Structure 1
Amino acid sequence: MTNTHLAFMIGLLGSIHCIGMCGPLAFAVPVLKPGWRYLLWDKLSYQAGRIISYCILGVVIGILGKQIWLAGLQNGVSIMSGLLILLAAASRLFNFSIRTNNSVLLKPFYKLFNYALKHKANHLIIGMLNGLLPCGFVYLALAGAVNTGSITEAVEYMFWFGTGTVPLMLIAGISAGFTGLAFRRKINKMLPWLMICLGIWFIFRGLQLDIPYLSPAKSGTITECR
């Protein structure tokens, strides 16, 4: 599985979780003009805005990842990313909490989002704000992007992650939520196992055991910043 395929699958599976978490924000964005054409255009603009924000995050994380590769720390970062993902998965499976200060992170976001809604901002702008919302699956995608070692590849990784979230989020936005609570709960029970697979993959990748695709050997070259 290539990085882009992995990113797309994280986005696709994560979007089911997102419908329950940030979906209500998408549903709260009003359509300013009646008609299916305007509805579809507004929802597509909203999704495009999220992808733009993910690509911007990809630039930032790509710069960081490039410095990590230049310093020769990519293997350690890959292993550390895998361990953190496994810890997050364990917290879901065994119901223990990892203390975070999400209220502080979310407060300025909600202020901006409410301001945008109040002043009837363009759906593209509102989507860009939504793309910056702290989210566990965005963190997973960023963990993968930082391990690409190239700004271009990091942006590409985040683009395909965002693209993976579009199909279900777009359908949910148009239909105002097409999945029931029971279905989302079943999917959420599967998500920790996906996280475990990703965590193990990052660890094996960092160990460089010369296993094709899973744990390739060190190539001895550094990806150039494109």
Structure 2
Amino acid sequence: MLLSAFILGLLGSFHCVGMCGPIAFMLPVDRTNQLKKVSQIAIYHVGRLLAYSLIGLIFGLIGKGLFIFGFQQQLSIIIGVLMILVVIIPQKTFNKYNFSKPIYKLISKVKSALGTALKKKTMDTFLTIGFLNGFLPCGLVYMAVFAAIAGGNALNGSLYMSIFGLGTVPLMTTAIYFSHFLKGKARQRIQNIIPVFVVIIGALFIIRGLGLGIPYLSPAPVYNMVTNGIDCH
């Protein structure tokens, strides 16, 4: 599942360039000193990874609570179904019901803070920009959050989101250097692959939740293993 986090981040970064690309293009990096520029970009990515790790930590704790109550398998199935539904339900449906409205004020504050940070050029500015960037609303981040919840604990949730973030680094870095990278048909084709991959990940979560007894892919429920162990004695 951790591999799926990196691939989701890697493929999803083509979407990220469209959504967060303007922020990357506007980074106040030093254009005259390449070493300084690289360090500034690296700090920006560290900020994003910190934000993703924190998000994963929080939602991993939610997953842990559900695990304690014995809902882990059902949760995995529900999350898999949700990931698939988000892909197949038309975007206009989400726009109609405006699920993000309750957090508009928070998003507005994040954008305002980003605007202020983009006017500065100190090293901590890049950390701040990256960190705030990680909290901007993004469909791909929501998909990764679903997986973080299914991780079952804070560590797994944080790790999943961190690896997802690492997957976005290569293309986001390229976007900073080459703002017109992969425009047109090539980028559109890769964008079309993203929903397919999300559906595949969703299906994997459903299979895992079914507890089919397939090692690594769909392990048997814990209570089954305990019962079998008792029968052996």
- Name the SS of the counterpart of 1:13 in structure 2: helix
**Map of 2:228 onto structure 1:** none
**Map of 1:224 onto structure 2:** none
- Name the SS of the counterpart of 1:97 in structure 2: helix
Q: Hey, what's the Cα distance between the residues in 2 that align with 1:35 and 1:181?
A: 31
Pairs within 5 Å for 1:48-197: 48-91=46-89, 96-98=92-94, 99-102=97-100, 104=104, 106-120=107-121, 122-197=125-200
Task: Give structure 2 stretches of 5+ with no counterpart.
Answer: 226-233
Q: Deviations over 1:90-112 (max 9, x none)?
A: 135xx653233446263222112
Amino acid at match of 2:163: W
Identity between Structure 1 and Structure 2 (%)? 38
Shift in Å, 1:82 = 1.2
Does the 8 Å CA contact 2:8/2:198 hold for their aligned counterparts? Answer: no
- Name the SS of the counterpart of 2:89 in structure 1: helix
Q: Deviations over 1:26-83 (max 9, x none)?
A: 1111114622112211111111110011111121112111111101111222111111
Q: CA RMSD in A?
A: 1.9
**Map of 1:26 onto structure 2:** 24
**Map of 1:198 onto structure 2:** 201
Does the 8 Å CA contact 1:39/1:174 hold for their aligned counterparts? Answer: no
Does the 8 Å CA contact 1:4/1:157 hold for their aligned counterparts? Answer: yes
Shift in Å, 1:119 = 4.2
Q: Hey, what's the Cα distance between the residues in 1 that align with 2:182 and 2:100?
A: 26
Does the 8 Å CA contact 1:210/1:217 hold for their aligned counterparts? Answer: yes
Shift in Å, 1:200 = 1.0
Does the 8 Å CA contact 1:20/1:184 hold for their aligned counterparts? Answer: no
Q: Hey, what's the Cα distance between the residues in 2 that align with 1:177 and 1:128?
A: 24
Does the 8 Å CA contact 2:28/2:119 hold for their aligned counterparts? Answer: no
Residue 44 (str. 1) matches residue 45 (str. 2): no
Task: Give structure 1 stretches of 5+ with no counterpart.
Answer: 222-226
Q: Hey, what's the Cα distance between the residues in 1 that align with 2:146 and 2:25?
A: 28
Q: Hey, what's the Cα distance between the residues in 2 that align with 1:37 and 1:181?
A: 31
- Name the SS of the counterpart of 2:38 in structure 1: helix
Pairs within 5 Å for 1:207-222: 207-220=210-223
TM-score, normalised relative to structure 2: 0.85
Q: Hey, what's the Cα distance between the residues in 1 that align with 2:100 and 2:70?
A: 32
> Which structure features the higher share of helix residues?
2
Q: Hey, what's the Cα distance between the residues in 2 that align with 1:177 and 1:77?
A: 41
Q: State the aligned residue count.
A: 217
Q: Hey, what's the Cα distance between the residues in 1 that align with 2:76 and 2:168?
A: 24
Shift in Å, 1:176 = 2.4
Pairs within 5 Å for 1:2-13: 3-13=1-11
**Rg larger for:** 2
